[in-house]
Amino acid sequence: MSHAAQAIEPRSSSQTAQEHWPFTVRQATPAIGAYVGDIDLREPLDEPTYLALRRALIRYKVLFFRDQDLTPAQHVALGKRFGKLEVHPVLPRHPDHPELVVFDKSDQKRGRENIFHSDVSWREVPSMGSILRCVECPPTGGDTIWVNMALAYEKLPGDIKARLEGLLAVHDLLPLFGAALSPEQRVSVRAQNPAVTHPVVRTHPESGEKLLFVNEAFTTHFANYAEIAGYRFGFDLKLAEMDLLQYLFRQAAAPEYQVRLKWEANTVAFWDNRSTHHYAVQDYYPAVRRMMRATIIGDRPV
């Protein structure tokens, strides 16, 4: 039996207390997110707490923890409890812990993460989850939004779901990250990170949920649209493909599928990249916003 299958599924704050969870859970919105309390992430997670957190993550899709003054080493150790960590090929990394991406924004460097995305969906084996800690927050602004992509798929009209059956999408890191690279760096990054193809609708390996798995940051086009949709005219085919892809992108913008977090220093967010998109709101310039992220390697989408 998998770790996820062994854990108990939380249902509400009152039931959580009755079931003797090793932490408290307060649901953030009806669609997604929960605040987790009475836990110290600096300490190694024992097996019952690890299993409970993993199951809570699957259910709520993003977990929020306040007042977690993690050192970089503790941050890495927490991430490794859930799986192997990746090293990002482009984003700045912590000098002593390359598994930690550092987002260091100020009046010298604007943020550019204001687009709905799933971290590293452009990998052949994308991320299982990400753990982000706020080191220094702006006095106001700089929130992050997460989206429940299982709900986004569930609420699609039936005829759209039918059109997505068997459809594959291409994910690529260069359209977003390439502008910050030199021509030589682009060649090197491309050689090590070719564009990949994933199902438009994937199945969550632990919950069994169907998930809409395209995002406007990294998904460039469908790989087999003509094969699935049938051919009429070249322009007609391409416009229909673009319309469908843009329609799918827009699902993430529905407030009914979202939760929004106001960061505080030492707040940690842990989210499931398989079942969510997120968007970092860039409304705080020129204030400082410094974050660190560990990203856990996942599984090949099916």
Cα→Cα distances 5→69, 123, 205, 257, Å:
30, 26, 11, 25
Active site residue 104: no
Cα separation, 30 vs 256, in Å, equals 9
Cα separation, 40 vs 271, in Å, equals 18
Active site residue 204: no
Q: CB-based contacts of 96: which residues, under 8 Å, 6+ apart? A: 72
* Contact (CB, 8 A) for 66 and 35: yes
Nearest to 50 by CA among 83, 85, 75: 83
Token output for 228 = 């699935």
Catalytic residue among 55, 75, 117, 198: 117
Token output for 88 = 């990002």
β-bridge partners, 198? 169
Q: CA quadruple 160, 161, 162, 163: dihedral positive or negative?
A: positive
Active site residue 40: no
Cα separation, 237 vs 221, in Å, equals 12
Active site residue 112: no
* Contact (CB, 8 A) for 192 and 91: no
Cα separation, 16 vs 8, in Å, equals 10
Q: CB-based contacts of 251: which residues, under 8 Å, 6+ apart? A: 149, 152, 153, 155, 156, 212, 257
- Could you list the active site residues? 117, 119, 278, 293
